Amino acid sequence: YIEACGIAPSAVIGSLGAGVGLWESAKVRFSHTGKVQVLTGTHSHGQGHETTFSQLVADKLGIPYDDIEVIHGDTEKTPVGMGTYGSRSLAVGGEALVKACDKIIDKGKKIAAHLLEASEADIEFRDGNFTVAGTDRSKSMGEIVFEAYVPHNIPQGLVEPGMEEGAFFDPPNFTYPAGTYVCEVEIDPETGVVRIERMIAADDFGNVINPMIVEGQVHGGLAQGIGQALTESAVYDEAGQLLTGSYMDYCMPRADDVPNFEVHTAAGTACTANSMGVKGCGEAGAIGSPPAVINAITNAIGKRVEMPATPQKIWQALRQAAE
């Protein structure tokens, strides 16, 4: 598969008639003690944004991970955002966060240049420290943040007091993750029951910020795709009454319906649509797994069946093939 995600360049959707742009926003706010609040327009419902965004800011600003609080979902506090969908939170929302961090660093360089009696052009930032190039004279991010809240120690008009910056990001292009999924099944010819023996997912997500979270995203998509391929459907009776309207009747996969997944994401090609080189990963597992499962069943019985490939459908296909 290959997917266009990281939705979306506003110019593209605007040309298709959309009434809104699909940019994203973020803010980074230091307290005078050096603690950081990250406010993001995207929101998490289990994807691990808090962890990934904290890693991103900790690495970018050279501050302890535990000093960062991610705030999302509270529209009274957070900047306006366009939401979480289309595998866009890191590729679009994360890039807005990077740009906000860049503004923090630029402001810090102005303050550091004054404190270190150097030209702003000579100030380098690395590993949480502002250093005069070619010397050992430096100030930590914490020291710079503290001074930012003491405006009378800074020349009037150099910077505004405080250390808080926000940014927007409108992606120039989609991200294009791609992958190959392989499924091995065993089918009982007497009952039509399918057992998935192996499921292998190999994806190119570009640069991966947190491999464990990405693997978790793929695991969830694989389970969802297996359910779509084998069990899940909206069933109606002849009168149009929904028969699968509750979890007692709607057949979702259980733990014993899925195998141990083999997920490979290491060999990625960096994306050029954002500075992190990341690609969307949220939907990949659910894209690649249904066709992999159905193709494995087709290869096993020599006949294609419609999803969901229930034991009844497979048993009927086997009987028809034997006639």
29 forms beta bridges with: 37, 164
Tell me what the pLDDT averaged over the chain comes to.
Answer: 96
124 forms beta bridges with: 131
pLDDT of residue 267: 76
Alpha-carbon distance of 259 to 186, in angstroms, equals: 12
The rounded Cα 308 to chain-centroid distance in angstroms is 28
Question: For the segment 14-55, what is each residue's pLDDT rounded down to a tens digit?
Answer: 999 999 999 999 999 999 889 999 999 999 999 999 999 999
Question: For the segment 4-17, what is each residue's pLDDT rounded down to a tens digit?
Answer: 999 999 999 999 99
Among 203, 166, 176, which Cα is nearest to 8's?
Answer: 176
pLDDT of residue 303: 94
* 318 confidence band (pLDDT: 50, 70, 90): very high
Question: For the segment 159-208, what is each residue's pLDDT rounded down to a tens digit?
Answer: 999 999 999 999 999 999 999 999 999 999 999 999 999 999 999 999 99
* β-sheet with 178-187: strand ranges across: 178-187, 194-204, 261-264
pTM of the model: 0.92
* 321 confidence band (pLDDT: 50, 70, 90): confident
* 322 confidence band (pLDDT: 50, 70, 90): confident
Six-digit token string for 252: 């979702």
Question: For the segment 149-164, what is each residue's pLDDT rounded down to a tens digit?
Answer: 999 999 999 999 999 9
5 forms beta bridges with: 175
Six-digit token string for 271: 């994306």
Q: Report the 10 Å Cβ neighbour count for 188.
A: 13
- Give me the count of residues in the chain: 323
Which percentage of the chain shows pLDDT scores above 70?
100
Residue tagged 């250093």 (tokens)? 131
**CATH T-level assignment (fold) for domain 178-322:** Aldehyde Oxidoreductase; domain 4 (3.30.365)
Helix (H, G, I), strand (E, B) or coil at 95: helix
The rounded Cα 292 to chain-centroid distance in angstroms is 23
Helix (H, G, I), strand (E, B) or coil at 241: coil
Among 188, 199, 197, 175, which Cα is nearest to 272's?
Answer: 175
Return residue ranges of the chain for CATH 3.30.365.10: 23-169, 178-322
* 266 confidence band (pLDDT: 50, 70, 90): confident
DSSP secondary structure letter of residue 189: T
pLDDT of residue 258: 95
Six-digit token string for 296: 């494995």
Angle at 96 between CA 170 and CA 27, to 5 degrees: 130
Helices 49-61, 95-115: axis angle to 10 degrees equals 30
Tell how strand 194-204 and strand 261-264 pair up: parallel
Instruction: Kindly give the residue spans of alpha helices, DSSP state H, lying in 231-267.
Output: none
The answer to whether residue 323 scores a pLDDT higher than 90 is: no
Estimate the share of the chain in helix, then strand, then coil, as percent rounded to the nearest 5: 35, 20, 45
C-alpha to C-alpha distances, 216 to 2, 78, 157, 261, 284, nearest whole angstrom: 20, 26, 48, 10, 11
Question: For the segment 105-147, what is each residue's pLDDT rounded down to a tens digit?
Answer: 999 999 999 999 999 999 999 999 999 999 999 999 999 999 9
Question: For the segment 215-236, what is each residue's pLDDT rounded down to a tens digit?
Answer: 999 999 999 999 999 999 999 9
**CATH T-level assignment (fold) for domain 23-169:** Aldehyde Oxidoreductase; domain 4 (3.30.365)
